[in-house]
Each structure stands twice: as structure tokens, then as C-alpha cells.
């Protein structure tokens, strides 16, 4: 069915070659669960993580005889949306096929997938890495259904063991995104995945959870003598559930293959599993034992004719994608490219930034705070600004106080940290606690004089040319004002006095 084995064992290379003589070739296959409410071919809920085992099941997704599948329209729409975001062509005519194999997590004995007429093909994903543009072709994006999950109790290697099966995940809509073998390093493979995940989350079709496996990847790796065109024998790697694992597994596999070929050995097509604890890939099965899936058209489903109107409708509804959005922010607000990339990492964060700027806060000030202090807190507290006590409105209020010079940066940072947790009105708190910035030249002048008297050694060092010696003197004034002094003014007054 899959044709002849074109990747029969071959021998390449020989002794006396170095790793630099080889080029790595990587092609990624990504499976992404779609964020639909119901499953692919029945009305059961598609969420399964918090459900009791086998609660979200029905005769259709349990594969009972006499049931018929019904295509989830939203799943088709999400797949087309993805395909369009990846610049794919959407053929007029598409169909589903049965992929037959036997495993306890697949109750029907076949998976409904797409074989020769997928929903889309011939797209690409382009991204920047180390100042270069990388373009990876997308072979196809197609739609299928997920399997159930097996839970092995006890050590599988011991005889006293039992396995339990949970069909909650059975029939969850699953999109497969097949990439061309256009990637040339583990870093490129990782970045491709980061960008792909970001796009899927931006367009709202996937939650991007590698750990739980709603976004998962198989990496195909081969090497070939540098300068040659023919593809080498590929090895498929599975079981990676983080970006770091993908990068490490690909790196390991490239080095392993080069070592085999460099030592005069040969490679054969196989599937290997990444074993995190060992930091190595381990052979699972060879191509010779690979399944013959005996694909044939799914007789219970009519082919799909999407129609140009439907496709155009989906295209019109596509949101601005992350790269375009970052470029627009640079253009529109004069912020740096790095900052823009940071602020557009997720659609929610980018929306937040744009709402805060729309509320009248300076674009640069907002970028600076969101990209630094707020991001740090969001990570530390495991909740975004919008779910913090402060919220976007609170941050806007706080930044207004900064812009107006009502509070200095030190006070504002302390307030941000406190209000992120507790919430509250920044202006009222500043008033009630008397946190307003001290920028009265006379009052500060007196404190500056006192600080100079109290720090003779630092003052002498400064006057001898040591710039940093001024810090404790400034600190003295800050302390005296409980951190409220206008730091710039304090610096100016100090320098005036010490240079006079």
C-alpha cells in the first residue's frame, strides 16, 4: 500500500570524515488537537484532561457496531484556518480514509484519517533565526481523530501487571501538519515548532500544551555528505514532550548517525524513542516491522466539497499573525524589534499591550513595563496581567502616575508588585500612604547636603574620579525619603554641589 521500501539499508561515508562533512536534514510531523467543543465524529465533549475515565464516550467514539460518524464542521473550519495561516492551497475536493491497525487504544480497529486527498497542501512557514530567514515547506495539513489512552499499572516488565484504557480522548479532532525535510539543524527544528505552536494558539485552534500532548511532534532526521542532494536514510524520533527534548533528541540523533556513517557503518530506516533520563534515542521498531495500514476511502462519510465561499470566509476571519503584528508594532509605535517580538509572544499579551496604549499610556513606557516588570511577575505568579489583582486598568492607572511624575520608578515597581497580588487603586494608595515623589528642590537639597556630610569617604572617591562612588550617597537620600525622591533630581543636585 505505501509502495516499495525506497529507504532500504545503504552504506554511506567512510572513515576519515569529520562531522563538518555532513549536513543534517530534518522534517517534522506535528499532531495538534483542535479546540472544538465536541469530538470529531460524535457529540461527546472534546475536553478530557479533568474528566473521569471513560466519562466522555458514546457508541460512536467507543467504536461500537452499527454507529455512523458525522463530520464536525468546526474541526474542518479550524483545519482550513490553520492551512491558510500556513499559506497552503485548499483543494476543492477532499475525503476521509480508513487507516487500519490494531491496538487497544483504537476501538474501531481503524482511525479515520486522510490519505491521498488531504484538506490542504503545499504551504510554508517562514521565520527568523540568528538573523537569517528560514523557510520550511508544509507538505500538507490534514484532519483525523485521536486515539484513547492506555494506563499501565505497575512495571510492565514484571508479570503482575494490568493495563487500563480510557476512551475519553478517542475521537478528539486531531490535525496533522507534515513539514518538508527543509530544516538543517536542531535549533531550526526547535524554532519551527515554537513558531508553529505560536501561530496555532494565535488563531485559536490549539492550546499548545506539549506536556499534556495536545501539541506533539515526531522528528524525522537524516544526514548526508555536505554538498550532496540525495536524502539520507531517515530515522523517526518519538516521545518528546518539550521543546528542549526535541532539540536534544535531534542533536543526539544527528551526532549518532554521523558517528555510525563516519565509522563505516550503515543506517536503516527505523523509529526511535527519546529517553529523557538517558539523554538518548533508543530503537523501537524498524521499517521492516512497520505497519501496512491498508488505507481505503471511509465508506461511512461522503467526500467533502468545501466551496470557495467557505474558504474565503475562513480567510477573511484570520487574525493578524504574530510576525506581522510585531512588525506593525515596530512601525506604529517605534519600539524595538526584540521588544515587539516579546510583546507579541501570545495574542493575549499583544492585545493587552495595544489596549493599554489605546488607553493613552505612552507606547514606549507601556512596552518597557510589560516587557520587563509585568512579564517577570506574570511568570513568577503563574497568571497573566489580566488575571492579576491589578488588571489592565490598574496598570494604566499606575503608569499614568509614573508619566505624571507623581511617583518615581522605585515606588511604582514596589506598588506594581504589591497590587499585582492584592489589587487596589494606585492613585488612592499613593495619596493615603504619602508615596508621592519628592521633587521639591529645597527639601531634597537639604537631604543631599546631609547625605554628603554623612558619606565623606564616598564623596572623596567620587571626586577622585570614581563614578560609582556616588551610589551610596544617592541611596542615603532615597532612604531618607522612603524611596520617594526624584532620583534624577537628586543626582543633579549632588553633582552640582560636588563639582562646585
Burial 230-263 (b: 16+ CB within 10 A, else e): eebbbbbbbbbbebebbbbbbbbbbebbbeebbe
Please report whether residue 223 would count as binding Zn ion according to CB under 5 A. no
Judged by beta carbon distances under 5 to 8 A according to partner kind, the member of Zn ion, ligand ADP, none in contact with residue 42 is Zn ion
Cβ distance to ligand ADP smaller for residue 218 or 349:
218
181 binds, among Zn ion, ligand ADP, none (CB under 5 to 8 A by kind): ligand ADP
In the block, residue with C-alpha cell 536534544: 248
Task: Tell me: does residue 123 bind ligand ADP (CB under 6 A).
Answer: no
Contact 80, 306 (CB under 8 A): yes
Grid coordinates representing 15 are: 572513515
44 binds, among ligand ADP, Zn ion, none (CB under 5 to 8 A by kind): Zn ion
Is residue 371 close enough to count as binding ligand ADP by CB under 6 A? no
Q: Does 61 bind Zn ion (CB under 5 A)?
A: yes
The verdict on 27 binding ligand ADP (CB under 6 A) reads yes
Which residues lie closer than 8 Å to 86 by C-beta, 6 or more apart? Answer: 120, 123, 124, 125, 138, 141, 177, 199
d(CA 329, CA 318): 18
Contact partner, 231, from Zn ion, ligand ADP, none, Cβ < 5-8 Å per class = ligand ADP
CA distances from 436 to 28, 162, 373, 432 (A): 56, 67, 20, 10
Q: Which is nearer to ligand ADP, 118 or 483 (CB)?
A: 118
Contacting residue, 30, 40, 42, 240, with Zn ion by CB under 5 A: 42
* Binding test (CB under 6 A) with ligand ADP, winner from 17, 21, 23, 29: 29
Strands 10-11 and 266-267: antiparallel
Nearer to Zn ion, 42 or 134 (CB): 42
180 binds, among Zn ion, ligand ADP, none (CB under 5 to 8 A by kind): ligand ADP
Pairing type for strands 270-275 and 235-240 reads parallel
Pick 89 or 496: Cβ nearer ligand ADP? 89
Shortest reach from residue 179's CB to ligand ADP, in Å: 5
Nearer to ligand ADP, 61 or 267 (CB): 267
Residue 293-332 contact track with Zn ion, rule CB under 5 A, x = bound: ----------------------------------------
Q: What span, in angstroms and rounded, lies between the C-alpha atoms of 188 and 395?
A: 37
CA torsion sign for 280, 284, 285, 291 is negative
Q: Which three cell numbers stand for residue 331?
A: 512601525
Among 28, 44, 342, 397, binds Zn ion (CB under 5 A): 44
Please state the closest distance from residue 226 (CB atom) to ligand ADP, in A. 15
Shortest Å distance, C-beta 26 to ligand ADP: 6
343 touches, from Zn ion, ligand ADP, none (C-beta below 5 to 8 Å by class): none
Of Zn ion, ligand ADP, none, which one sits near residue 58, judging by CB under 5 to 8 A according to partner kind?
Answer: Zn ion
Residue bearing cell 515547506: 137
Cα angle at 146 between 142 and 148, to 5 degrees?
170
CB of 188 to Zn ion, least distance (A): 39
On the 0-12 / 13-18 / 19+ scale of CB atoms within 10 A, 429 is middle
176-235: contacts with ligand ADP (CB under 6 A): 178-181, 220-222, 231-232, 234
- By the 10 Å C-beta count (0-12 exposed, 13-18 middle, 19+ buried), 152 is classed as exposed
Q: How far is CA 150 from the centre of its chain?
A: 27
Neighbours of 124 (CB within 10 A): 14
Q: Which is nearer to ligand ADP, 286 or 372 (CB)?
A: 286
Point out which residues bind ligand ADP (CB under 6 A).
25-29, 178-181, 220-222, 231-232, 234
Amino acid at each position: 500500500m505505501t509502495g516499495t521500501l525506497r529507504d532500504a539499508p545503504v552504506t554511506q561515508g567512510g572513515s576519515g570524515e569529520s562531522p563538518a562533512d555532513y549536513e543534517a536534514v530534518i522534517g517534522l510531523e506535528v499532531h495538534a488537537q483542535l479546540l472544538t467543543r465536541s469530538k470529531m465524529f460524535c457529540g461527546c465533549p472534546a475536553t478530557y484532561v479533568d474528566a473521569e475515565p471513560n466519562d466522555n464516550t458514546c457508541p460512536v467514539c467507543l467504536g461500537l457496531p452499527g454507529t455512523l460518524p458525522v463530520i464536525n464542521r468546526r474541526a474542518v473550519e479550524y483545519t482550513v484556518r490553520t492551512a491558510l495561516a500556513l499559506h497552503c492551497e485548499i483543494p476543492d475536493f477532499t475525503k476521509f480514509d480508513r487507516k487500519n491497525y490494531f491496538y487497544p487504544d483504537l476501538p474501531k480497529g481503524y482511525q479515520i484519517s486522510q490519505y491521498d486527498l488531504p484538506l490542504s497542501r503545499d504551504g510554508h512557514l517562514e521565520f527568523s533565526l540568528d538573523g537569517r530567514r528560514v523557510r520550511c515547506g508544509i507538505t500538507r495539513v490534514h484532519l483525523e481523530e485521536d486515539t484513547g489512552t492506555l494506563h499501565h499499572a505497575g512495571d510492565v516488565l514484571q508479570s503482575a501487571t494490568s493495563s487500563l484504557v480510557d476512551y475519553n480522548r478517542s475521537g478528539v479532532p486531531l490535525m496533522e501538519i507534515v513539514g518538508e525535510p527543509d530544516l538543517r539543524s536542531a535549533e531550526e527544528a526547535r524554532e519551527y515548532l515554537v513558531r508553529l505552536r505560536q501561530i496555532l494558539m494565535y488563531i485559536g485552534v490549539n492550546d499548545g500544551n506539549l506536556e499534556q500532548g495536545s501539541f506533539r511532534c515526531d522528528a524525522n532526521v537524516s544526514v548526508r555528505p555536505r554538498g550532496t542532494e540525495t536524502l539520507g536514510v531517515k530515522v523517526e524520533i518519538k516521545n518528546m514532550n518539550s521543546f528542549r527534548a526535541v532539540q536534544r533528541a535531534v542533536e543526539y540523533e544527528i551526532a549518532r548517525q554521523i558517528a555510525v556513517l563516519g565509522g563505516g557503518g550503515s543506517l536503516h530506516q527505523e523509529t526511535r524513542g527519546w529517553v529523557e533520563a538517558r539523554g538518548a534515542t533508543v530503537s523501537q521498531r524498524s521499517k521492516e516491522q512497520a505497519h501496512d495500514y491498508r488505507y481505503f476511502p471511509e465508506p461511512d462519510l461522503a467526500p467533502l466539497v468545501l466551496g470557495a465561499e467557505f474558504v474565503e470566509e475562513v480567510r477573511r476571519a484570520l487574525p493578524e499573525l504574530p510576525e506581522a503584528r510585531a512588525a506593525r508594532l515596530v512601525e506604529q509605535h517605534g519600539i524595538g524589534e526584540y521588544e515587539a517580538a516579546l510583546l507579541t509572544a501570545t495574542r493575549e499579551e499583544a492585545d493587552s499591550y495595544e489596549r493599554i496604549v489605546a488607553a493613552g499610556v505612552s507606547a514606549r513606557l507601556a512596552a518597557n513595563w510589560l516587557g520587563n516588570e509585568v512579564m517577570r511577575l506574570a511568570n513568577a505568579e503563574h497568571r497573566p496581567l489580566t488575571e492579576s489583582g491589578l488588571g489592565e486598568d490598574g496598570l494604566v492607572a499606575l503608569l499614568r502616575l509614573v508619566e505624571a511624575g507623581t511617583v518615581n520608578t522605585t515606588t511604582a515597581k514596589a506598588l506594581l508588585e504589591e497590587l499585582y497580588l492584592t489589587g487596589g487603586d494606585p492613585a488612592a494608595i499613593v495619596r493615603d500612604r504619602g508615596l508621592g515623589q519628592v521633587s521639591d528642590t529645597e527639601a531634597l537639597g537639604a537631604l543631599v547636603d546631609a547625605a554628603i556630610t554623612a558619606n565623606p569617604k564616598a564623596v572623596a572617591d567620587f571626586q577622585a574620579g570614581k563614578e560609582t562612588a556616588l551610589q551610596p550617597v544617592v541611596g542615603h537620600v532615597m532612604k531618607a525619603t522612603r524611596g520617594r525622591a526624584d532620583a534624577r533630581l537628586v543626582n543633579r543636585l549632588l553633582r552640582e554641589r560636588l563639582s562646585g
